[in-house]
Chains A and B, each alone.
Chain A
Amino acid sequence: MTVSDQELYAWLDGELPPARAGDTERAVAADPALATRAEQARRARSLLAEGFPVVADPRDQALARLILDGPARRPMFSLPEGLRWPQLALAGAAAAACFGVGLSIGLLKPETPPLIGQGGALADAALVRVLDSRRAVDGADARGRAVGLTFQDAEGRWCRTFAAGEAGLAGLACREGEGWKAEVVAPFETAGTELRTASADIPAAVLAAVDASAASDPLDAQAEAELLARWKGE
């Protein structure tokens, strides 16, 4: 079977209908020369992902301010005293970076789902799992996701600070229904390029949000474990 580059690339990009994808897959498996072409194309794609990473850029904060300070279309609320838009501004950038950095390589297309649902719901499933089940003492997982403080806000929602180390972001999310709503997300304040792995440096914006919304003292390790066990049982 002769496979054109167009067919081969479409297969690699997940753009072929299942039947043709199966044909192409078998052809690649049976033909070393074709397998080499596939590998080269895949490699080009993975290098592109590496050469053009999603990186947190300090200038994005200024742009976020521009976006959020713009003429409000429907002013529906006022900000709590002491809070400013920029603290909220990076909620989206956070989620974006989570997805972007996790850009996968190979046969699977990188996912570009909506990053924040209506009302700021966290859309990163892995981060949601971490918030649902990870203890602070567990530290960071392999991709630098960790949780810090766990407390209740005035409405009885459980809130947790978290770090998404690979994305270089930290934030505060509160549990609503089955999901988590991002209240504030901000980049780690330390400059640098290595992956952040711990919840050590919680950005000031996140700490300010904790101070503003915490209605209970943070849970200790035992109370945290009990709470997580209860969620698991729900």
Chain B
Amino acid sequence: MRKRAFRTGPWDETIRARRSIPHGRFPPLDAFQSELVALLPRLRRLARALARNEADAQDLVQEAVERALAKRRGFQAGTRLDSWVFTIMRRLWIDQGRSRTRWNKVVTPEDAFTSQQPDASQAGEALRADALAVQRALKELPDDQRLAVALVLIDGLSYAEAAEVAGVPAGTLTSRLVRGRQALVARLGEAGVAA
């Protein structure tokens, strides 16, 4: 209806004149592929929150995407792709942690902080000292608390969604989140950052 109305407008002749020029329409985006691409910024953010450094974060994103593509048949259309891929990433991250020496047992927080710096400048973020302090405070949390904080407070998942991704009961997720947040507030307070 609308299209017909448009074609009776003053543009009509122009359109007719151009009609003979061959050009294709864009194909529809494949839902799985486009949603996965759409997830990339969030995947990278989650990886940055979980991994100990930028190189590991990149590995996590890359491996999560490869795994998601390989396991595509396992994804149920109509369910949440973000939860599905986040769960893949969480498993990879745990494997990563098992296979390597725990970073926070061999590196001082200062080193971790320093290693953050190039990332920040590379990402071009004019991060204030407060934001750097919170990055550092997050990295000091135990893994399970860091995961809970990253999923809920950084990505914005609901408690129920975060519990599913973390693979734990909702009550467990909630208590990890509470402990992680208490520790963050305390550390930010010590750093003179919190309100």
Inter-chain contacts of A110 with B (CB < 8 A): 155-156
Q: Which residues of B contact A191 (CB under 8 A)?
A: 124
A64 touches B195 (CB 8 A): no
- Is there an interface contact between A213 and B26, defined as CB atoms closer than 8 Å? yes
* Across-interface contacts of A184 in B (CB, < 8 A): 26
Which one of A74, A80, A81, A111 contacts B25 once the chains associate, using CB atoms below 8 Å? A80
Closest-by-CB residue of A relative to B133 is A47
For A70, give its contact among B69, B126, B184, B195 (CB under 8 Å).
B69
**B26→A47 contact, CB < 8 A:** no
B window 136-195: CB within 8 A of A: 138, 149-150, 152-159, 174-175, 177-178, 181-182, 184-185, 188-189, 193-195
Task: Give the contacting residue for B34; candidates A9, A80, A120; CB below 8 A.
Answer: A120
CA gap between A219 and B14 in the complex, in Å: 11
Q: Report B-chain residues with C-beta under 8 Å of the C-beta of A140.
A: none
Chain A residues with CB under 8 Å of B19's CB are 154, 215
Q: Contact size class for A? A: 35 or more
B181 with A44: CB separation less than 8 A = yes
Known A50-B127, A215-B15, A216-B14: A64·B159 in contact at CB below 8 Å: no
B41 touches A100 (CB 8 A): yes
Chain B residues with CB under 8 Å of A114's CB are: 35
CB-nearest residue of chain B to A231 = B2
B24 to chain A, nearest CB (A): 3
The interface size of chain B toward A, counting residues with CB under 8 Å, comes to 79
Known contacts A47-B131, A66-B69; is-contact A115 B35 (Cβ 8 Å): yes
Stretch among B44-52, B87-95, B99-107 lining the A interface:
B44-52
For B45, the chain A residues whose CB sits under 8 A away are 52-55, 100
Closest-by-CB residue of A relative to B24 is A80
Tell whether B7 is near chain A: CB-to-CB under 8 Å. Answer: yes
Residues of A within 8 A of B138 (CB): 48, 51-52
Within 8 A of B (CB), among A204-220: 209, 212-217, 219
Instruction: Verify if A88 is at the interface (C-beta below 8 Å from B).
Output: yes
A73 engages B30 (CB within 8 Å): yes
Residue of A nearest to B135 (CB): A51
